[in-house]
Amino acid sequence: MTNFHILTLFPEMVMQGLHTSILGRAVERKYISIEAVNIRDYTLDKHGKVDDYTYGGGAGMLMQAQPVYDAWKAVTDRIAARQAKRFCRVIYMTPQGRTFHQELAQELAQEEDLIFLCGHYEGIDERVLEEIVTDEISIGDYVLTGGELPAMVMIDAIARLVPGVLHNTDSAVTESFYDGLLEYPQYSRPEIWHDRRVPAILLSGDHAKVDAWRMEQSLARTRERRPDLYEAYCKRNGPDSKSMKKLDKKL
């Protein structure tokens, strides 16, 4: 069970996006919980303001420290009341962070509670980030208008690794990035479509042969499309692993 807490100015955006399809079902069945905390609810400003101009000048507004800190404090106090462990990772979504990847998703899926902090405008006052943030994470080298979509991307990737969320546990294992390889190609009915045939081996009923073919496809694809992942895989598995020797002979 993982509880996701999202500190945001747009709670309806994340709640709508994360309560559909597989994650919606996982919430209903209590494998995960997702709450959005509206940072604006914690501002002490009587007009509900949460942002202000930056010291030193420059374009754009900055989210102020006080409402962000108080929203975080409310969530952590609630977590502490239920959990002996007081520490909870706080992930700030920012293009300045380290890049998100599958291994980090695996690591975070072990946590009982995760807090995501979504910034807007030109960002958040540095002082509150220094006080509460444990991880600064980017989802890629491009700049989005806010941290909500990145938080949703991360939560989707993490939640599907929480036990019970996916029906068929196999699908979390045999897929792109499991063991650092890309997934093999897959086919469904009909056998012939637009004159294209499903590879004969998949219709043979010989499971060992099918598995060997899939492994070979994964290796070949990874080598061609993501040489960086292929090289890392070779290093981990040793250059003389059986499947790679076979592939080398073929190519």
Range 107-146, binding ligand ADE (CB under 6 A): 138-140, 142-144
Among the listed ranges 90-98, 101-109, 169-177, 231-239, the one in contact with ligand ADE (CB under 6 A) is: 90-98
**Reduced 3-state DSSP string for 70-138:** HHHHHHHHHHHHHCCCCCCCEEEEEEEEEECCHHHHHHHCCCCEEEEECCCCCCECHHHHHHHCCEEEE
Residue that is written with structure tokens 């609810």 in the block: 41
x-or-dash pattern for ligand ADE, window 189-218, by CB under 6 A? ------------------------------
C-beta closer to ligand ADE: residue 93 or 219: 93
C-beta closer to ligand ADE: residue 55 or 142: 142
Shortest reach from residue 96's CB to ligand ADE, in Å = 9
- Using CB under 6 A as the binding rule, whether residue 104 contacts ligand ADE is answered as no
Shortest reach from residue 102's CB to ligand ADE, in Å = 16
C-beta closer to ligand ADE: residue 140 or 164: 140
Residue that is written with structure tokens 């509206």 in the block: 38
- Using CB under 6 A as the binding rule, whether residue 67 contacts ligand ADE is answered as no
Closest C-alpha to 219, from 236, 199, 201, 202? 236
Looking at the chain, how many residues does it have? 251
C-beta closer to ligand ADE: residue 156 or 216: 156
CA dist 185 and 236 (Å) reads: 24
Shortest reach from residue 123's CB to ligand ADE, in Å = 9
Measured in degrees and rounded to the nearest 5, phi and psi for residue 196 equal -105, 130
Three-state secondary-structure class, residue 164: coil
Shortest reach from residue 224's CB to ligand ADE, in Å = 27
- Using CB under 6 A as the binding rule, whether residue 150 contacts ligand ADE is answered as yes
CA dist 7 and 4 (Å) reads: 10
C-beta closer to ligand ADE: residue 115 or 139: 139
Helix axes 11-18, 148-159, angle to 10 degrees: 30
C-beta closer to ligand ADE: residue 37 or 139: 139
Do 93 and 139 contact (CB within 8 A), yes or no? yes
HSE of 228, CA atoms in CB hemisphere, 13 A: 1
CA dist 76 and 58 (Å) reads: 34
Shortest reach from residue 52's CB to ligand ADE, in Å = 20
Range 24-53, binding ligand ADE (CB under 6 A): none
Q: Using CB under 6 A as the criterion, which residues of the chain lie in contact with ligand ADE when the complex forms?
A: 93-95, 138-140, 142-144, 147, 150
